[in-house]
Structure 1
Amino acid sequence: MRAVVVTTSYPMSDEDPSGHFVRSSARALARSGAEVHVIAAGGSVLDAPSRDGELVVHRAGGGALFAWPGAVARARASPLRLLAAGPFAASVLARLRAIGPVDRAVAHWIVPCAWPLLLAAPRARLEVRAHGADVRLLLGAPRPARAAVVGALLRRDARFVFAAGALRDALAGALAPAQARALLGASRVEPPAFDLPPVGERAEALRRELLQSPGERIAVVACRLIPTKRVELAIEAARAAGPGLWLVVVGDGPERPALERLARGPAAGSAGHARRAGGAAVRFTGALPRREALAWIGAADVLLHPSSHEAAPTVIREARALGVPVIACDAGDVVAWARDDDGIVVAEGTAEGLAAALRAVPPRRSDRAPAPLR
């Protein structure tokens, strides 16, 4: 069986955190016996295909728009970047034609990745995976446009896989009743796959480096620093939670300067990377390789996740797989997960609500058991 995966997010290297769940999904497909070709944003359309283990990766350009810290943030910073969507789609079509007939086609994100498959892979079994931003884009589009996109895929007998039930419900609720029923009948909910490298030794080393006295704790926020992640709430909550807390902000993005100003004044720690916020010390690590970012999560007493817009946040699932408790806000399927996992606490989406949850975090156990992967 030959299969093709089309995506706007795929890692440029082993340590690139972008799109690792897409790679995990593609690798799972390859393990089923398929010859898998991945067409991904980034690089140049002139690049020759490369090998990524058992996968063949074809770059289709479009990096001006489809790159860190995300297409929405990049387009907001420079609207002209939206012009890269057209050449990317044309490059995907060219790559599909060069690959030739396939038996199975998988689009990660409904838009812009699914429609080239309608044109260039007419006989392949089509699967469309929705992760969040694509559904929000459709919800913000005019109703006729939304219905046209979903209708074209349903007529093609596409199967939809939603990262979260909340996404599927939101999209179905924005369609006409007959089309909503058809979508529900052609879909399932399945959180994205992910691989977790061993990070235990590095996590313990990071705790030894950071903690200065008994009783101190580490809270970690790991995300792109964009408005919807609401990292300012984590900083304000850390300030309100009292002394003895380190807040480590793992990631980078356009909000970082404002967040560093909010954290206020220098504090002990790496030069240029620590700020004092009330009684808490805040450390900004910047963007890190994936393994190092996971090590910081593994080093934490708790993962803070105050984001307002999510589907099935992989970082929460990674934290729980590492045995780290989570304080999150109500977004996506997080509330449903918390019903089955007492290691996830859903807090009110305010600094006061998060601070109260932080104060209730029990001391770290040395024998933290990982939660079952979802």
Structure 2
Amino acid sequence: MKLLILSTSYPASDADPSGHFVRAEARALARQGHDVHVVAPGGSPFDEPARDPAAPSLHVHPAGGGALFGWPGALARVRRDPTRLLHALPFAIAARVRASAIGPVDRAIAHWIVPSAVPLLLGLPAPIEVVGHGADVRMLCAMPAAARLFIVRALLDRDASFRFAAAASLDALARALPTPLAERLERASRVEPVLLDLPDVTTRARVLRASLDPHASADKLVVAAGRLVPSKRVDLAIEAATSASMSIVVVGDGPLRAELEALARARPAHARFVGLVPRDEALAWIAAADVLLHASAEEAAPTVVREARALGVPVVACAAGDVSVWARRDPGLVVAAPDVRALSAALQAAVAARS
């Protein structure tokens, strides 16, 4: 089959954390024998398509727009620099041109309901599969009701199928629709977590663990990974790790970094901030941990939790998105209340269970 994937997030390299799950899916489809064409941000819309060396039947067609789309997401980038919105229209035009130039396809897959499915793929003469993640569903739910209804109805009238990375996202969107439309959406939908593609980081994880402060070497290591914004509650993670007498490494960057570093000094905490690092380095830090602490308040299907569990690292998390559902069938994932005492106790129990 000839397949088209249109996404507003796709990794520019192995180190890029953006859209790695989209590439994992594209590679899996190519390895199944499909002719896969990805239209995504990056490069210039005049560049030749690139073949993926890991899957030769996967072709990546750059459509520009790299200043707007990429880590940590278009909304965060626009908040930081509103002029980046000027790249939206040129990207949309280039993406439509690229998609049309690929020619007839057997199926088109849109990662992110807005803008990949609507408006970019809506007029394409091919069966459409729409993949809803977290941020796009939250944005859709926050839209005026008329806009939300128009988008969902237009896709359903087009006989699009829906795939949600989290049951919580499907439930949230269904609750924001009139009952007849919600029932149509549910009939056209399924829930399927995104694919993971994890490099071998075992050796690097050992090196990173050995690089920790020798005075804290007897401590157990907690890792918190994510963007440093209020909803991620990294302050709570620092407080909980300190209360549990454990060291913490914070992987990621964001507007709260200076404030969080000040908190760590004031506690004082055995804390190390490594900033935004390549994806394989972030995974190595997770693999080096005794436990991952994910205190985020707003999630759908947090990839970092699944990555930690795939690496064999226990996870303590707060209830958000599908995390509580996962915890019911995974004893290595514990859900705790979002307060220092509960998280501290859960960290200690997770480490003890692993010993």
Superposition TM-score tier, normalisation by shorter sequence: over 0.9
The counterpart of 1:330, out of the listed 312, 319, 322, is: 319
Distance in 2 (CA, whole Å) between partners of 1:333 and 1:362 is: 23
The letter of the residue matching 1:16 is: D
User: Which residue matches 1:71?
Assistant: 74
Q: Which moved more, 1:250-259 or 1:106-115?
A: 250-259
**Structure 2 length normalisation: TM-score?**
0.94
User: Which residue matches 2:5?
Assistant: 5
The counterpart of 1:162, out of the listed 149, 161, 164, is: 164
The within-5 A match list for 1:343-362 is: 343-362=332-351
The counterpart of 1:197, out of the listed 199, 218, 222, is: 199
Distance in 1 (CA, whole Å) between partners of 2:92 and 2:309 is: 37
Cα deviation code 1:325-369 (max 9, x no counterpart): 001111110000000011111111223332232233334847xxx
Distance in 2 (CA, whole Å) between partners of 1:151 and 1:334 is: 29
Root mean square deviation, CA, Å: 1.6
The letter of the residue matching 1:293 is: A
Structure 2, gaps ≥5 residues long: none
The counterpart of 2:122, out of the listed 118, 125, 135, is: 118
The within-5 A match list for 1:34-73 is: 34-53=34-53, 54=56, 55-73=58-76
The letter of the residue matching 2:321 is: G
Q: How far has the Cα of 1:35 moved from its partner?
A: 0.7
Q: How far has the Cα of 1:199 moved from its partner?
A: 1.4
The letter of the residue matching 2:149 is: A
Q: Which moved more, 1:71-80 or 1:20-29?
A: 71-80
Describe the SS at the equivalent of 2:350: coil
Structure 1, gaps ≥5 residues long: 266-276, 367-374
Cα deviation code 1:102-141 (max 9, x no counterpart): 111000000000122112x21x221100111110011000
**Structure 1 length normalisation: TM-score?**
0.89
Distance in 2 (CA, whole Å) between partners of 1:364 and 1:210 is: 23
The letter of the residue matching 1:87 is: P
Q: How far has the Cα of 1:214 moved from its partner?
A: 6.0
8 Å Cα contact 1:211/1:217 also seen in 2: no
8 Å Cα contact 1:69/1:253 also seen in 2: no
User: Which residue matches 2:132?
Assistant: 130
Cα deviation code 1:159-196 (max 9, x no counterpart): 10000001001101111111111100000000000111
Describe the SS at the equivalent of 2:304: helix
- Residue identity over aligned pairs, in percent, reads 60
| Structure 1 outlier segments of 4+, above 6 Å | none
Q: How far has the Cα of 1:205 moved from its partner?
A: 2.3
User: Which residue matches 1:284?
Assistant: 273
Residue 214 to residue 64, structure 1, CA distance change in 2 (3 Å):
closer
Describe the SS at the equivalent of 1:304: strand
The within-5 A match list for 1:15-30 is: 15-30=15-30
Describe the SS at the equivalent of 1:114: helix
Choose between structure 1 and 2: higher helix proportion. 2
User: Which residue matches 1:300?
Assistant: 289
User: Which residue matches 1:274?
Assistant: none
The letter of the residue matching 1:36 is: V
Distance in 2 (CA, whole Å) between partners of 1:103 and 1:61 is: 25
Distance in 2 (CA, whole Å) between partners of 1:365 and 1:205 is: 21
Distance in 2 (CA, whole Å) between partners of 1:59 and 1:82 is: 18
The counterpart of 1:206, out of the listed 205, 208, 224, is: 208
8 Å Cα contact 1:301/1:363 also seen in 2: no
Q: How far has the Cα of 1:100 moved from its partner?
A: 1.2
Distance in 1 (CA, whole Å) between partners of 2:61 and 2:257 is: 33
